[in-house]
Chain A
Amino acid sequence: MREITYQEAIREAMSQVMREDERVFILGEDIGVYGGAFGVTRGMIEEFGPERVRNTPISEAAIAGAAIGAALTGMRPIMELQFSDFVTIAMDQLVNQAAKIRYMYGGKASVPMVVRAPGGSGTGAAAQHSQSLEAWLAHVPGLKVVQPANAYDAKGLLKAAIDDNNPVIFYEHKLLYSTKADVPEELYSIPLGQADIKRAGSDVTLVSTGIMVQKSLTAADLLAKDGIQVEIIDPRTLVPLDIKTIVSSVKRTGRCAVVYEAVKRGGYGAEIASLVAESEAFDFLDAPIIRLGGKEVPIPQSPELERHAVPQVEDIVEAIRNMMQKA
């Protein structure tokens, strides 16, 4: 196997699917010769032409609506949001249209589309270009939400998202684009709703999403030196959520921490924590479930402030240590 970046894995998944299925196309801002704001679609217009790699005006609502209309009539569009923050402009189309069409129409229609949304902080892009709003979308029945944490997952999950007959919001993390992993050359699919145990451990279950998976893995190495064995579970998809894997892990470890980059208040990690508390794992809990999330502030630009606005490796280490500590 060869190593490729997260960004290359996403491009490869799209290209390979597009070679197989003429109904799949991409639309978004500056995705043509520019290659997209983060270069994800670089080279694709050369292969697939401007019909299937459609450069759009800066009209997120229209792009989303057009994707929905196309999906409703038999296409499988992939829409690229330049920054996931811009989902706010497309929100009516995603929440009131894409998510609800099937149900409103009594199951007669389906909207097979993918919204690729680069999210997260760490690039100094500040408050309007660094958010993690995945919980908003995960709240809406009818949408699926995916958050790949590495290149391997990105390729397999994107394939599954494109194949899915529902609107899928595919959250990419900007800081992960350049990270590498072993990725098979052939096309493969990772089922939506299947969590991955990124590291096995016996002392505490750490449920991490998106970029926090990488940070958790680093934190777990440090904690292992203290004799604390952390089990890291990456749900990979928030909707549908593989709560079973999480619950069975918590039953083994008796402790559960959830870490996510989004603002802690009302973040999706709160949902995971609640599900664990309600589950049969309750009687196995030997400590309160804790959440680590972003501070309740817009993401600032200044580097140190930005770093402190979201959980970092040392925050995870400290929180887990505290969790394991005696009176």
Chain B
Amino acid sequence: MNEVTMPKLAMTQEMGTILQWYKREGDWVEAGEPLLEVMTNKINIDVESYVDGVLRKRLYEEGAEVPVLNVIAYIGDADEPLPDESVNVAVSADSNHPETHAAPHLQKPVATRVRATPAARAVARKLGILLTDVQGTGPNNRIQREDVEAFAISRPSCSTATPAERRIVSRTTSQTESSVHVNPKDNPMTATPLDSFSRVPYRGLRKMVGDRMATSVSEAPHVTVVREINVSQTIELRRRLMPMVEEQTSAHLSLNTMVLFATAHALMKHPNVNATWASKDEIIEHHSVHLGMAVAAPQGLLVPVIHFANTLSILALSEQASQLVKKARNGTMAPNDLEGGTFTISNLGMFGIESFNPIINLPQVAILGVGSLIEKPIVENGNIVVRPMLTLNLSFDHRVLDGADAAKFLQTVANYLTCPDELFVALHA
């Protein structure tokens, strides 16, 4: 029988609070799989299992504050006998660790005393949702089953797929498949009185995404190069291609698709940009382009990946991109749709953003930020003319690439978009 203990994560840490269990008693756990989320006075962290086995016993409920190094769970074989002390943990913990604070081991946090129906509680237990996060719409703001289900669908989802994220995505997905029915009119925004606030827990997926962003910024030296380009020829080409595309597919050929197409081919020309970190001292330069595109889905930022984007016709690319966007918005993304990206494009043009510094989606080494299309006066052959202008922002990891590498790549993209003829030539190269 293997013990899981409350980790000591800081010199001064004496206690840790169990925020949520990801596994139930009797669940199979793999080594490295997140087992529970723990909050210390400094951080929230996922505690992963060190061993494979069955989670036999959880000694503390969610919300319990436990002294560090105390046993909080047992993992073992399904039929292995449990140690005696697991039966009455409160007593043994106190008597074995007299120096620790007399912690209320099995105490439930006050915040969990929410008004919820048994069905809502059962669904919340199943989906690992804390009822304190859920807004009740029943009588007396009682949380009912559909409130929990609605919350489960709308809660933050992942942008890149770690095992834990995959787990959560597949859970939300399967729950979507089990015909969770949410009627938007059943979930009206309740009027918020002035001077009120909500405490939004930073945990789960939101925290995973956020932590990765923070890691990226602190680990990778970011440099962003910016270039404003005249895309009148691309727009003209799009205008000419549009009827052909629409005839053959239901997809609408967008400027963004043109950018994806150009970028995919530019990456083939610059494998040092189409790269990911394999380890601390190795970088993989990919020979195919798996192009991630950031999508603002209802549940949050998602980055579905168009696999082998370099092999796709503009027709196929257009179709795939629109399908992925649809899936992302419906919440029907498969875990595979979020994996294996080699480069990411983030387009905030639709929000009127002209220029921004995107954060690299590690382990990738660069990301392209696309701004909005704006008609601007420019000087052309000595004349001031109005042209449709697009700003390209490329953030790159200076550990892997230098300014010149990034600039050259961006130049290729810019060339393909200012003069799509070049793209045509490149296809033959």
Tell whether, in the assembled complex, residue B145 and residue A326 are in contact, meaning their CB atoms are under 8 Å apart: no
A202-B128 Cα distance, complex, nearest whole Å? 26
Which single member of B119, B140, B145 contacts A327 (CB below 8 Å)? B140
A284 at the interface (CB under 8 A from B): yes
Closest to B121 in A: A283
A286-B142 Cα distance, complex, nearest whole Å? 9
B353 at the interface (CB under 8 A from A): no
A38 at the interface (CB under 8 A from B): no
Closest to A325 in B: B139
A287-B140 Cα distance, complex, nearest whole Å? 11
Q: How far is the CB of B183 from chain A (nearest CB, A)?
A: 11
Q: How far is the CB of A81 from chain B (nearest CB, A)?
A: 41
In the complex, chain A residues whose CB is within 8 Å of the CB of B139: 287, 322, 325-327
Tell whether, in the assembled complex, residue B119 and residue A254 are in contact, meaning their CB atoms are under 8 Å apart: yes
Tell whether, in the assembled complex, residue B117 and residue A327 are in contact, meaning their CB atoms are under 8 Å apart: no
B349 at the interface (CB under 8 A from A): no
A282 at the interface (CB under 8 A from B): yes
In the complex, chain B residues whose CB is within 8 Å of the CB of A326: 137-139, 186, 188
Question: Known contacts being A254-B145, A326-B186, is A286 close to B120, with CB within 8 Å?
Answer: yes
Which single member of A285, A322, A325 contacts B118 (CB below 8 Å)? A285
B31 at the interface (CB under 8 A from A): no
Tell whether, in the assembled complex, residue B121 and residue A287 are in contact, meaning their CB atoms are under 8 Å apart: no
A160-B136 Cα distance, complex, nearest whole Å? 48
B318 at the interface (CB under 8 A from A): no
Tell whether, in the assembled complex, residue A284 and residue B122 are in contact, meaning their CB atoms are under 8 Å apart: yes
Give the contacts of B103-141 with A (CB-CB under 8 A): 117-122, 136-141
B230 at the interface (CB under 8 A from A): no
In the complex, chain A residues whose CB is within 8 Å of the CB of B145: 254, 286
A131-B90 Cα distance, complex, nearest whole Å? 55
In the complex, chain A residues whose CB is within 8 Å of the CB of B138: 286-287, 326-327
A285-B138 Cα distance, complex, nearest whole Å? 13
Q: How far is the CB of A203 from chain B (nearest CB, A)?
A: 12
Q: Dominant SS at the A interface?
A: loop
Tell whether, in the assembled complex, residue B117 and residue A285 are in contact, meaning their CB atoms are under 8 Å apart: yes
A327-B138 Cα distance, complex, nearest whole Å? 5
Q: How far is the CB of B122 from chain A (nearest CB, A)?
A: 4
B234 at the interface (CB under 8 A from A): no
Question: Known contacts being A254-B145, A327-B141, is A282 close to B118, with CB within 8 Å?
Answer: yes
A254-B117 Cα distance, complex, nearest whole Å? 10
Tell whether, in the assembled complex, residue A286 and residue B119 are in contact, meaning their CB atoms are under 8 Å apart: yes
Tell whether, in the assembled complex, residue A287 and residue B144 are in contact, meaning their CB atoms are under 8 Å apart: yes
Instruction: Kindly supply a per-residue 1/0 record for chain A positions 29-50, scoring 1 wherever the CB is within 8 Å of any chain B CB and 0 otherwise.
Output: 0000000000000000000000
Chain B residues within 8 Å of chain A by Cβ, number: 18
Tell whether, in the assembled complex, residue B137 and residue A284 are in contact, meaning their CB atoms are under 8 Å apart: no
Which single member of A282, A283, A286, A322 contacts B144 (CB below 8 Å)? A286
Instruction: Kindly supply a per-residue 1/0 record for chain B positions 125-166, scoring 1 wherever the CB is within 8 Å of any chain A CB and 0 otherwise.
Output: 000000000001111111011000000000000000000000
Question: Known contacts being A254-B145, A327-B141, is A285 close to B119, with CB within 8 Å?
Answer: yes
In the complex, chain A residues whose CB is within 8 Å of the CB of B141: 327
Q: How far is the CB of B117 from chain A (nearest CB, A)?
A: 5
Closest to A288 in B: B117
A287-B122 Cα distance, complex, nearest whole Å? 13
Give the contacts of A277-326 with B (CB-CB under 8 A): 282-288, 322, 325-326
Tell whether, in the assembled complex, residue A287 and residue B117 are in contact, meaning their CB atoms are under 8 Å apart: yes
In the complex, chain B residues whose CB is within 8 Å of the CB of A327: 136-142, 190
Question: Known contacts being A254-B145, A326-B186, is A283 close to B137, with CB within 8 Å?
Answer: no
Q: How far is the CB of B116 from chain A (nearest CB, A)?
A: 10
Tell whether, in the assembled complex, residue B118 and residue A284 are in contact, meaning their CB atoms are under 8 Å apart: yes
A327-B117 Cα distance, complex, nearest whole Å? 14
Closest to B116 in A: A286
A284-B137 Cα distance, complex, nearest whole Å? 17
Q: How far is the CB of B366 from chain A (nearest CB, A)?
A: 49
Interface centre among B118, B139, B140 (most CB of A within 10 A): B118
A283-B118 Cα distance, complex, nearest whole Å? 5
Instruction: Kindly supply a per-residue 1/0 record for chain A positions 251-287, scoring 1 wherever the CB is within 8 Å of any chain B CB and 0 otherwise.
Output: 0001000000000000000000000000000111111
A287-B146 Cα distance, complex, nearest whole Å? 12
Closest to B185 in A: A326
Q: How far is the CB of A327 from chain B (nearest CB, A)?
A: 5
Q: How far is the CB of B65 from chain A (nearest CB, A)?
A: 28
Q: How far is the CB of B137 from chain A (nearest CB, A)?
A: 5
Q: How far is the CB of B129 from chain A (nearest CB, A)?
A: 15
In the complex, chain B residues whose CB is within 8 Å of the CB of A254: 117, 119, 145
A285-B116 Cα distance, complex, nearest whole Å? 10
A42-B134 Cα distance, complex, nearest whole Å? 64
Closest to A281 in B: B118
A325-B120 Cα distance, complex, nearest whole Å? 16
Known: A254-B119, A254-B145, A327-B136. 9 other contacts (CB 8 A): A282-B118, A283-B119, A284-B122, A285-B117, A286-B144, A287-B142, A326-B138, A327-B137, A327-B140
Query: 8 closest A-B pairs (Cβ-Cβ)?
Result: A283-B122, A286-B119, A285-B118, A286-B117, A286-B145, A286-B144, A254-B119, A283-B118
Sample (21) of A-B pairs whose CB atoms are under 8 Å apart:
A254-B145, A282-B118, A283-B118, A284-B122, A285-B117, A286-B118, A286-B120, A286-B145, A287-B117, A287-B138, A288-B117, A325-B139, A326-B138, A326-B186, A327-B136, A327-B137, A327-B138, A327-B140, A327-B141, A327-B142, A327-B190
